C-alpha cells in the first residue's frame, strides 16, 4: 500500500525552501489556490516567519497570515510545505522549523505572514527510525495535519492536501432542537446512500444537498434524529481489489478516518477547496430547522494507516509511539483494522476532546455514536480500564454536556461492555435487544423472559448501576448486517460480490427465510415476510428505550442478502426510492407505529416499570404480565406467547395491552378488564393493521385471536381527567 505515500526528494531540494538556520530564502511567484482557483498572487520573497504559539493545535488563519502548530515529541526536524495547486507534488515553498525558536515542549509552531485562507499545506518530519521501539519517521514522506479542518485532492493518487480555513461560525441563528432522549426516534443513514440511486429524484444525488431534499420524507415518517455513518475525510477509499462481478471495490461505509476534524468532500456537490464545509453546514442547518438532530458516527478506535504494511499518512510519521498502541514496535489490533489508537495516552485524549468540541461548537453537531467504543477505555497496555479517564472527560466536558453520547460498547479485541459502559451520560447500542428480539420472533424456545426484559427497557443491563431505560438504544437492524427485509428473506449471508469468497460478515444472523432463500413470487411467503417486518417494527416502537431505525427498512430495502456491504458503493447499498410506492403498506405501518409511540408516554418513560410491589396492590401495578390464558406468566415455559398490561396511570389515562404470538398457530388471548380497541394488528390487512384512536372501531372484550406469528396492541379509551 506504499503507493499512497506522497514522497519528495531529500530535504533542502525543494523550490523556494527557507532554511531557518541560515536565513536563505529562494524566490518564486505563485498563486494560492482557493476552491481550485487562484486567490491572489504572492511573492514568496515577501513571506516572513516568526515564532508561533503552542495552542490551539492545527492551523489558525489571521488577516495577515497563518499559524501552523503541530505536536511531535520525538521528531528532530520539522518542515511545513505550501503548494500552489492540489495536483502539485512539489511544494512551491517550504520552511524548516528551528527547534530553538519554534518549539515549546513537544509543540512546533510558526506564524507565516503573507498567506491566508485556502493555502494548501503538508508537513514533513525527521527523527529516529527503530521498528523495535516503534519509531517510523521518514523525512521524504509528506504528512497530513491531524487537526486539519479541510482537505482537497485524493490520497490514492498522492495529491491530498490540507487546507487552512477559518472556523465557520456564521450560523444565522441556528437553533439546536435539543430533543429529549425519551422522545428520540433515530434514523441511521449514509449520506451518499440516501440519494445516490437514480430513483431518488433529487437535484444533487449522493450529496449533503441531496440529504436536505429528503427532509420531507424524514418529517413525514416521524424521525427527529439522523445518525450519519462516518462523514469524516477518509484515507482508504479504493480497496485495491475487485468484485466478482467486476469493478474496483471502495470503502463505502467510510470507517477509515484520516481527517478527524474534516467533513469529507466526497459527499459534496463541489469540493475543490473548502466549499464543501458550507455544504455540510447547510445540511446541519436545514435538519435543525426541521426539528431533526444530527448525530455523527465517529471512529476514534483506529486510523486509515493500517498495520505495518499500511501507508504513512499522518500519525505514523508524526509520532507513531504516542498515537498508536504498540508491543515491541508491532501494532496491537483491537479494532480489526490493523491498528489501535492509543486512547490511554493524555495527548491522544486531548486530541479526541478537541475534535469533539470542534464538531459541537463550530459545526453544531448534536451527538456522537462512538464506533468500537470499548477501545476508548483501554489503557496504555491495551487493558480495559474500569474507570477510563477519557470516558469521564468526555462525559464531564463543559462543551459536550448537552450532546448525545452513544457507545458501540464492544471492540474486536474481545471486549463486550453492553450494560456497563461509561456511566450515566453514556447510552449504548443494545446488541442484546437486537439478538433477543430476533430469537423470540424466529420462534426460539424459552425466550419469554428475555423478550419481556427487552420490551421494558433492559433493566437487567441498566438498573443495577442506577441507569434508565433511555440508556438502551434499541435496534433490530443497523448498517452492519442484514436489512429488515433481508432478515426475513435469508437464512445465510450472500457476500460473494465482496470478493472475499463469502468469508466476511457474520455467519449467525438469527434470521429466517420462511421457506425460500431470497426473493420469491410466492404470495404466502411474501405475506408472512411482510407480517414479520411489521412484528419487528411494532416491537421496536413499543419498547422502552430509544428506538433506532435503519434507513430504508421502512420501505423494505434489500441488500440481496449481503450482510457486510461496506464495500458496495452501488445499488446494493443505495436506497431504492421506488420501494416507497411498491411497499406503501409497510411504510404506512412504520410511520403509524412511530406516531403511536409518540402518543403514549408510557412507551417513552425513562423509569423501569415497578410491577407488583408490597405497597402496590396488583390491580394498581404499573405493569402486569400474563400468558394467553390471562394467568400469571410462567417465565420458564418455552411457549412463544406473551401479554403485558400497562396501567392507565402511567399513560395519561389510557391502558395498553401488548400481546405477542411467535408460535405457528392462531392463539386466543384472554383479555383483562372490559372493552378494548385494537390499535395494532400485524396480521390484519390495511387499514386494520394500524389505526388512529378515533378510527379504532374494532372493539373487543374478553378475548382476542392472534394469528400465527403476529402482534396486537390494544388500548382503552382515555379516562377523563378529574377536575381540580
Instruction: Identify the structural domains of the chain with CATH numbers, from first to last.
Output: 2-163 (2.60.40.10), 182-307+347-602 (3.20.20.80), 611-715 (2.60.40.1180)
Q: Are 162 and 145 in contact (CB under 8 A)?
A: yes
Q: Which three cell numbers stand for residue 267?
A: 459527499
Whether 305 is a known active-site residue: answer no
> What is the rounded CA–CA span in Å between residue 557 and residue 319?
44
Whether the CB-CB separation of 79 and 11 falls below 8 Å is answered with yes
Burial grade of 556 (CB within 10 A; 0-12, 13-18, 19 or more) = buried
Res 39 pLDDT > 90:
no
Each residue of 587-596: pLDDT tens digit? 999 999 999 9
Q: What is the pLDDT of residue 248?
A: 87
Would you say residue 28 has pLDDT above 60? Answer: no
Cis peptide before 687 (omega within 30 of 0): yes
Residue 221: its pLDDT value, please?
Answer: 98
Average pLDDT of 492-496?
Answer: 97
| 218-235 tens-digit pLDDT | 999 999 999 999 999 998
Q: Which of 312-321, 381-390, 661-670 has the lowest mean pLDDT?
A: 381-390
Q: What is the percentage of the chain residues whose pLDDT exceeds 90? A: 85
Going by DSSP bridges, is the β-strand pair 225-228/293-298 parallel, antiparallel, or unpaired? parallel
**Percent of the chain with pLDDT strictly greater than 70:** 93
pLDDT digits (tens, 9 = 90+) for 42-66: 578 889 999 999 999 999 999 999 9
Q: How confident is the model at residue 721 (pLDDT cuts 50, 70, 90)?
A: low
- Strand arrangement, sheet containing 699-706: 623-626, 641-646, 656-661, 710-715, 667-681, 699-706
Helix H, strand E, coil C: the string for 513-578 is CCCCCCCCCCHHHHHHHHHHHHHHHHHHHHCCCEEEEECCHHHCCCCCCCCCHHHCCCCCCCCCCC
Pairing of strands 426-429, 472-475: parallel
C-alpha cell at 550: 435503519
Q: What is the mean pLDDT of the chain?
A: 92
- Residue 351 cell numbers, joined: 486530541
Per-residue pLDDT tens over the stretch 448-475: 999 999 999 999 999 999 999 999 999 9
Mean pLDDT confidence for 19-48: 48
Catalytic residue status for 424: no
Nearest to 283 by CA among 213, 374, 345, 386: 213
Q: What pLDDT is attached to residue 337?
A: 94
pLDDT of residue 720: 56
Asked whether residue 418 carries a pLDDT value surpassing 90, the answer given is yes
Residue 16 has pLDDT above 60, yes or no: no
- Residue of 371, 553, 627, 628 marked catalytic: 371
Query: What radius of gyration do the chain's Cα atoms show?
Result: 28
CB of 337 within 8 A of CB of 313?
no
Q: What pLDDT shows up at residue 34?
A: 41
| Per-residue pLDDT at 33 exceeds 70 | no
Decide: residue 118, CB within 10 A, 0-12 exposed, 13-18 middle, 19+ buried. buried
Q: How far is CA 10 from CA 160, 375, 543, in A?
A: 20, 38, 63
Phi, psi of 648 (to 5 degrees): -65, -20
* Dihedral sign for Cα atoms in the order 300, 305, 306, 312: negative
The pLDDT tens digits for 601-639 are 999 999 999 998 877 778 889 999 999 999 999 999 899
Residue, of 693 and 250, whose pLDDT is higher = 250
How large is the average pLDDT for residues 437-447?
97
463 burial via Cβ count (<10 Å: 0-12, 13-18, 19+): middle
Question: 506 and 464 in contact (C-beta within 8 Å)?
Answer: no
409 band by pLDDT with thresholds 50, 70 and 90: very high
Q: pLDDT tens digit string along 238-271?
A: 777 888 777 889 999 999 999 999 999 999 998 7
- Other CB atoms within a 10 A radius of the CB of residue 390 amount to 23
What does the pLDDT read at residue 613? 81
Instruction: Name the β-bridge partners of 641.
Output: 661
- Tell me: pLDDT of 707 over 90: yes
Helices assigned H by DSSP within 469-522: 484-487
CA atoms within 13 A of residue 269's CA, in its CB half-sphere: 15
Residue 412 has pLDDT above 60, yes or no: yes
Among residues 534, 569, 556, the alpha carbon closest in space to that of 486 is found at: 556
pLDDT for 37 beyond 80: no
Question: What are the pLDDT digits (tens) for 130-183?
Answer: 999 999 999 999 999 999 999 999 888 889 999 999 998 889 899 999 999 999
Q: How many CB atoms lie within 10 A of CB 473?
A: 26
Rounded distance between C-alpha atoms, residue 311 and residue 579, angstroms: 41
Name the region of 422 (left: φ>0; alpha: ψ -120 to 50; beta: rest): left
Neighbour-count burial for 13-22, b at 16+ CB within 10 Å, e otherwise = ebebbbebee
- The predicted pLDDT at position 719 comes to 59
Which pLDDT does position 339 carry in this prediction? 97
Per-residue pLDDT, 371: 98
User: Which residue is catalytic, options 5, 94, 213, 408?
Assistant: 408
The count of C-alpha atoms lying within 13 angstroms of the C-alpha of 687, restricted to the half-sphere facing its C-beta, is 9
Amino acid at each position: 500500500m506504499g503507493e499512497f505515500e506522497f514522497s519528495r526528494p531529500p530535504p533542502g531540494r525543494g523550490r523556494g525552501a527557507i532554511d531557518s538556520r541560515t536565513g536563505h530564502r529562494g524566490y518564486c511567484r505563485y498563486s494560492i489556490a482557493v476552491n481550485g482557483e487562484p486567490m491572489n498572487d504572492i511573492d514568496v520573497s515577501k513571506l516572513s516567519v516568526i515564532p508561533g504559539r503552542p495552542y490551539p493545535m492545527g492551523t489558525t488563519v489571521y488577516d495577515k497570515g497563518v499559524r501552523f502548530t503541530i505536536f511531535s515529541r520525538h521528531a528532530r526536524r520539522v518542515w511545513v510545505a505550501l503548494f500552489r495547486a492540489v495536483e502539485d507534488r512539489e511544494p512551491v515553498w517550504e520552511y524548516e522549523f528551528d527547534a530553538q525558536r519554534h518549539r515549546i515542549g513537544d509543540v512546533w509552531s510558526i506564524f507565516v505572514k503573507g498567506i491566508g485562507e485556502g493555502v494548501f499545506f503538508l508537513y514533513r518530519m525527521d527523527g529516529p527510525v527503530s521498528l523495535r521501539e516503534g519509531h517510523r519517521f521518514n523525512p521524504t514522506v509528506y504528512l497530513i495535519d491531524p487537526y486539519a479542518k479541510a482537505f482537497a485532492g485524493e490520497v490514492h493518487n498522492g495529491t491530498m492536501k490540507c487546507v487552512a480555513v477559518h472556523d465557520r461560525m456564521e450560523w444565522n441563528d441556528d437553533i439546536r432542537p435539543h430533543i429529549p432522549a425519551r422522545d428520540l426516534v433515530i434514523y441511521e443513514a449514509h449520506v451518499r446512500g440516501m440519494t445516490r440511486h437514480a430513483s431518488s429524484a433529487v437535484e444533487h444525488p449522493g450529496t449533503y444537498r441531496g440529504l436536505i431534499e429528503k427532509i420531507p420524507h424524514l418529517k413525514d415518517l416521524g424521525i427527529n434524529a439522523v445518525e450519519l455513518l462516518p462523514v469524516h475525510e477518509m484515507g482508504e477509499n479504493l480497496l485495491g481489489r475487485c468484485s466478482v462481478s467486476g469493478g474496483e471495490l471502495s470503502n463505502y461505509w467510510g470507517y477509515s478516518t484520516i481527517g478527524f476534524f474534516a467533513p469529507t468532500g466526497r459527499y459534496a456537490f463541489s469540493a475543490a477547496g473548502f466549499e464543501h464545509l458550507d455544504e455540510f453546514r447547510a445540511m446541519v442547518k436545514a435538519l435543525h430547522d426541521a426539528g431533526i438532530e444530527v448525530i455523527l458516527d465517529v471512529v476514534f478506535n483506529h486510523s486509515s494507516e493500517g498495520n505495518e504494511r499500511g501507508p504513512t499518512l499522518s500519525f505514523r510519521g508524526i509520532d507513531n509511539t504516542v498515537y498508536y498502541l504498540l508491543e515491541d514496535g508491532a501494532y496491537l489490533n483491537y479494532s480489526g483494522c490493523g491498528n489501535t489508537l492509543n486512547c490511554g495516552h493524555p495527548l491522544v485524549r486531548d486530541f479526541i476532546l478537541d475534535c469533539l468540541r470542534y464538531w459541537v461548537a463550530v459545526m453544531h453537531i448534536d451527538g456522537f455514536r462512538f464506533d468500537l467504543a470499548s477501545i476508548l477505555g483501554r489503557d496504555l497496555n491495551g487493558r480495559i480500564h474500569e474507570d477510563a479517564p477519557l470516558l469521564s472527560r468526555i462525559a464531564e466536558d463543559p462543551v459536550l454536556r448537552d450532546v448525545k453520547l452513544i457507545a458501540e460498547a464492544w471492540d474486536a479485541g474481545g471486549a463486550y461492555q453492553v450494560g456497563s459502559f461509561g456511566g450515566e451520560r453514556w447510552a449504548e447500542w443494545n446488541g442484546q435487544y437486537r439478538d433477543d428480539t430476533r430469537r423470540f420472533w424466529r420462534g426460539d424456545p424459552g425466550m419469554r423472559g428475555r423478550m419481556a426484559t427487552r420490551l421494558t427497557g433492559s433493566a437487567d443491563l441498566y438498573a443495577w448501576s442506577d441507569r434508565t431505560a433511555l440508556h438502551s438504544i434499541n435496534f433490530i437492524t443497523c448498517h452492519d448486517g442484514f436489512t429488515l427485509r433481508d432478515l426475513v428473506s435469508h437464512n445465510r449471508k450472500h457476500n460473494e460480490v465482496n470478493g472475499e469468497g463469502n468469508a466476511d460478515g457474520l455467519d449467525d444472523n438469527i434470521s429466517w427465510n420462511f421457506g425460500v432463500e431470497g426473493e420469491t413470487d410466492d404470495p404466502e411467503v411474501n405475506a408472512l415476510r411482510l407480517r414479520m417486518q411489521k412484528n419487528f417494527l411494532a416491537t421496536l416502537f413499543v419498547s422502552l428505550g430509544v428506538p433506532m431505525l435503519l434507513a430504508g427498512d421502512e420501505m423494505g430495502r434489500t441488500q440481496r442478502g449481503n450482510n457486510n456491504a461496506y464495500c458496495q458503493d452501488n445499488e446494493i447499498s443505495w436506497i431504492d426510492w421506488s420501494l416507497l410506492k411498491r411497499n406503501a403498506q409497510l411504510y404506512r405501518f412504520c410511520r403509524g407505529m412511530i406516531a403511536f409511540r409518540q402518543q403514549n408516554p408510557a412507551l417513552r418513560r425513562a423509569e423501569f416499570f415497578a410491577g407488583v410491589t408490597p405497597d402496590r396492590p396488583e390491580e394498581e401495578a404499573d405493569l402486569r404480565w400474563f400468558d394467553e390464558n390471562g394467568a400469571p406468566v410462567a417465565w420458564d415455559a418455552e411457549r412463544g406467547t406473551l401479554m403485558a398490561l400497562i396501567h392507565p396511570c402511567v399513560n395519561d389515562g389510557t391502558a395498553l395491552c401488548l400481546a405477542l404470538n411467535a408460535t405457528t398457530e392462531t392463539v386466543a388471548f384472554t383479555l383483562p378488564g372490559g372493552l378494548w380497541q385494537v390499535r395494532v394488528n400485524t396480521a390484519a390487512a390495511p387499514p386494520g393493521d394500524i389505526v388512529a384512536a378515533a378510527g379504532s372501531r374494532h372493539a373487543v372484550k374478553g378475548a382476542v385471536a392472534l394469528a400465527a406469528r403476529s402482534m396486537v396492541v390494544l388500548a382503552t379509551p382515555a379516562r377523563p381527567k378529574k377536575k381540580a
